[in-house]
A and B are shown apart, each in its own frame.
Chain A
Amino acid sequence: MSDIALEIDRLTSGYGQSMVLRDVSLKIQSGQVLAIVGKNGMGKTTLLKTIMGFLPAQSGRICMFGADVTGVQPHRLAGRGVAYSPQDQAIFPDFTVDENLRLGLSNDRGYERALDRVAVFFPFLAQRRGQRAGTLSGGEQKMLLVARALMSRPRLLLIDEITEGLQPSVVQRLIGVLRAELAAFDLSVLLIEQNVGFALSIADRYAVLARGEVVAAGRVDAPGVAGVIQNHLAV
């Protein structure tokens, strides 16, 4: 078993002829969290979509747990222990809480046990199983999203801008949940964030993406990291 959860090697990708990512290389050690920060339009979501197989890689390689998954279809990645939490249209608003959570597993066996596990973090989910997800508050929908991603106990979690528009109390709660999961299981996380405080509070490493390239990277506990990131975000 590889101790590298995700390795991206010189990845170039984009939409049609328009290249958004250029020669991006990143690595996540098993059990670690990598936060990708950057301003809007710098290629963060494109990176996640390419990793997930929604966009083709023009060149470069994506490996998960030692296996080359470049161009692998999205539904096959879920079978390899990858959970993806997209930024937009991330839940099924017409489905109930229960139905949304069921889709976090490949079948209904073990559903109740998985629900019990995530309901420890988000008790409202167990109490409002029959409620339409679209009628939950914005914060509750984000919690549902994280809960669904954790249902299958994934090995690699890809999260896109989970804190956008959330109250600080909800952000703190999500930090607590992710820390608990990281401590309990061999979970690795790729976090796309604009909320630098959230990103640094939970990540082991960071990378700054600007105009489709990694312009800074390192450990989050290195001195002056917050300043370095803020400089890049401010320009």
Chain B
Amino acid sequence: MINLLLDILTTAGILFIVSIGLLIVFGVQKIINFAHGAFLTIGGYVALLVTGAHFSPWLAPPVALLAGALIGAIVERVIVRPLYNRPLDAILATWGLSIVVVQLITIGFGRGVQFVTSPVSGAIHVFGADYSLYRLIFLGIAIVLGLAVGLLLRSTRLGLVARAVILNENLARSLGIDSDLVRFMTFVVGAGLASLAGALLTPLLSVDPTMGVTWLLNAFMLVMVSGTSLISLMLACVVLGGAQVVISTFGNPVLGGLTIVVLAAILLRLRPTGFARA
């Protein structure tokens, strides 16, 4: 029972880290960044390169964060910004970009599955159960990240300005807020967080050029049921991620893999705002 509970919590933490960058970009830009999965994959390969070069595995996540942010900055300026007024085209462009990234990674690293050294190994005894230390660390990182982003949005001028753009961009602009700059910064942060998620996932999963695709689908559905709210995203990750764990554990892992997508679709049919406040 304790193991199941920890599985639910750590899965929610993983989903939260994977989705938060997508949520931030969606909130400000009003577009789904379909290159999110590609940025996640980039993070995975950055971790592969860092550990392959015999640096500490702990170095992989911050390096991935920086690499994702840097590539995100270029993508925003070159691909996304010219399409601000054509959101559908922007979505298609990010989708196209994700295909290009997958192909480039395949050319550079091959199609094969690869593995990254974990910074920690083994289990620890917690609440009477033995549980993966790395998954617990992952949960801790998710909590710290959630608090940090929440604090940034609620308690800083930058957060206030970003929320103003999210809620009413024209009004924000009339108040002197450079919404283009806010869009740029949120895209950079979103891309960086996606790559961070990719690097953090590598001790749990193998690395391959399409590793981002599955996560993109789940992240997309989680953001759809969360609107632009961080709290709603946390709730969605716990509820839908929990359902995934329960179905995978007591039913069928294949069905478990479909759980988030199916439940999110049903939820949106019944309550279009999902977990967000109506």
Chain B positions within 8 Å of A84 at CB level: 174-175
On whether A78 and B175 interact (CB within 8 A), knowing A92-B164, A92-B168, A95-B163, the answer reads: yes
Considering only residues 142-188 of chain A, those with a C-beta below 8 Å from chain B are 148
Q: Does B157 contact A (CB under 8 A)?
A: yes
Task: Please state if B157 and A75 are interface contacts (CB–CB under 8 Å).
Answer: no
* Residue in B170, B175, B178, B179 whose beta carbon sits within 8 Å of that of A103 in the complex: B175
CA distance A26 to B207 in the complex (A): 65
Chain B nearest CB: distance from A50 CB in Å?
A: 13
Chain B positions within 8 Å of A104 at CB level: 175
On whether A75 and B179 interact (CB within 8 A), knowing A99-B160, A103-B160, the answer reads: yes
Say whether chain A's binding surface is mostly helix, strand, loop, or mixed: loop
Q: Does B151 contact A (CB under 8 A)?
A: no
Q: Does A54 contact B (CB under 8 A)?
A: yes
Q: Does B271 contact A (CB under 8 A)?
A: no
Task: Please state if A74 and B173 are interface contacts (CB–CB under 8 Å).
Answer: yes
Task: Please state if A78 and B174 are interface contacts (CB–CB under 8 Å).
Answer: yes
* Residue in A78, A94, A95, A108 whose beta carbon sits within 8 Å of that of B176 in the complex: A78
Chain A positions within 8 Å of B175 at CB level: 75, 78, 84, 103-104, 148
Chain B nearest CB: distance from A138 CB in Å?
A: 18
Considering only residues 98-134 of chain A, those with a C-beta below 8 Å from chain B are 99, 102-104, 106-108
Q: Does A40 contact B (CB under 8 A)?
A: no
Interface string of A2-21 (1 = CB under 8 A from B): 00000000000000000000
Chain B positions within 8 Å of A92 at CB level: 164, 167-168, 171
The number of inter-chain residue pairs (CB within 8 angstroms) is 51
In chain A, what residue has the closest Cβ to B179?
Answer: A75
Task: Please state if A86 and B173 are interface contacts (CB–CB under 8 Å).
Answer: no
Interface size counted on chain A using CB atoms at 8 A: 23
In chain B, what residue has the closest Cβ to A98?
Answer: B160
In chain B, what residue has the closest Cβ to A149?
Answer: B175
Q: Does B177 contact A (CB under 8 A)?
A: yes
Chain B positions within 8 Å of A220 at CB level: none
Task: Please state if B168 and A108 are interface contacts (CB–CB under 8 Å).
Answer: no
CA distance A39 to B243 in the complex (A): 58
Task: Please state if B177 and A75 are interface contacts (CB–CB under 8 Å).
Answer: yes
Task: Please state if B163 and A107 are interface contacts (CB–CB under 8 Å).
Answer: no
Task: Please state if B171 and A102 are interface contacts (CB–CB under 8 Å).
Answer: no
Chain B nearest CB: distance from A214 CB in Å?
A: 24
Q: Does A231 contact B (CB under 8 A)?
A: no
Chain B positions within 8 Å of A94 at CB level: 167
Chain A positions within 8 Å of B168 at CB level: 89, 92
CA distance A74 to B177 in the complex (A): 9
Q: Does A201 contact B (CB under 8 A)?
A: no
Considering only residues 170-191 of chain B, those with a C-beta below 8 Å from chain A are 170-179
On whether A75 and B176 interact (CB within 8 A), knowing A92-B164, A95-B163, the answer reads: yes
CA distance A162 to B4 in the complex (A): 58
CA distance A108 to B168 in the complex (A): 20
Chain B positions within 8 Å of A90 at CB level: 171
Considering only residues 138-158 of chain B, those with a C-beta below 8 Å from chain A are 157
* Residue in B157, B160, B170, B178 whose beta carbon sits within 8 Å of that of A54 in the complex: B170
Q: Does A73 contact B (CB under 8 A)?
A: yes
- 4 new A-B contacts at CB < 8 Å, known A75-B174, A103-B160: A75-B175, A75-B178, A86-B171, A106-B176
A and B contact pairs by CB, cutoff 8 A, 7 listed: A74-B174, A75-B176, A78-B174, A79-B176, A92-B171, A103-B172, A104-B175
Give me the 8 closest cross-chain CB pairs, A-B, nearest first: A78-B176, A74-B173, A84-B174, A75-B173, A103-B175, A75-B178, A74-B174, A75-B176
